[in-house]
Chains A and B, each alone.
Chain A
Amino acid sequence: EIVMTQSPATLSVSPGERATLSCRASQSVSSNLAWYQQKPGQAPRLLIYGASTRATGIPARFSGNGSGTEFTLTISSLQSEDFAVYYCQQYNNWPPYTFGQGTKLEIK
């Protein structure tokens, strides 16, 4: 089973600033990685797939990068609606499909 590790667990950033979230895989997942955003009481929402392709309707301030075992999600200028929990997920080696434990992005 591929273990996904996200860092940091919590990230405090001011609105308008840049946020960079990290995700590491225990073995290579090529570019088969997705990012999701989850707000309290809501279902996750797909942001990025293929490590760097934005999903339909996702603003350009969200960008994904990386391949192999190291990945990043960058939000270039944080808006109030971006404060949420973010998860990475690998779909290269399955079953199981595995998620990171999440990074909580909070307002500084």
Chain B
Amino acid sequence: QVQLVESGGGVVQPGRSLRLSCAASGFTLSSYGMHWVRQAPGKGLDWVAVMWSGGNNIYYADSVKGRLTISRDNSKNTLYLQMNSLRAEDTAVYYCAREGGIATGWFDPWGQGTLVTVSS
């Protein structure tokens, strides 16, 4: 059964750091493009970053470039999002999502999400 489970969210002060994890099961993480998508409270979906299956191609939304870093550990079949210099506007539920197929562009499945709150 294909499953994604996020963890690592919490309350953090502005300017501090946090690392989110997304543990994959039922498939090999490195064989698929993997994304992070976030959703601010009461708002819509906002794409954050992607790491392609080869691991060399990584892209970010302009709003997070230079502050958030996507990575993975193939031995643990886990995706990460390192979040530095956090701002209030980064407050959101963060979802990891797999591409539905190889180089497809749609997201399926999604994890259950982990809430990050940036507040002093």
- Cα-based distance from A97 to B59 in the complex (angstroms): 10
Measured CB to CB, the closest approach of chain A to B67, in angstroms, equals 15
A44 within 8 A of B: yes
Interchain CA distance A92-B105 in the complex, whole Å: 8
**Neighbouring A residues of B105 by C-beta, 8 Å:** 32, 34, 91-92, 94, 97
A43 beta carbon closer than 8 Å to chain B: yes
Q: Is the CB of A91 within 8 A of B106?
A: yes
Q: Verify B59–A95 contact, CB threshold 8 A.
A: yes
**Residues of A with C-beta under 8 A to B104:** 49, 91
B27 sits at the interface (CB 8 A): no
Indicate if the CB atoms of A46 and B59 lie closer than 8 Å. no
Nearest CB in chain B to that of A44: its residue: B110
Contact partners of B61 in chain A: CB under 8 A: 95-96
Q: What's the dominant secondary structure at chain A's contact region?
A: loop
Q: Quick check: B47 and A97 within 8 Å, CB to CB?
A: yes
Complex: A34 Cα to B115 Cα, angstroms: 25
Residues in A neighbouring B113, C-beta threshold 8 A = 43
Find chain A residues with CB under 8 A from B53 CB.
none
Give A34-75 as 1s and 0s: 1 = Cβ < 8 Å from B's Cβ atoms: 101000001111100100000100000000000000000000
Residues of B within 8 A of A (CB): 35, 44-47, 50, 59-62, 95, 100, 104-113
3 tightest A-B CB contacts, nearest first: A91-B105, A46-B108, A34-B106
- Taking Cβ atoms with an 8 Å cutoff, the residues of A that contact B are 32, 34, 36, 42-46, 49, 55, 87, 89, 91-92, 94-102
A-B contact pairs, 6 of them (CB 8 A): A43-B95, A46-B108, A55-B100, A91-B106, A99-B45, A102-B45
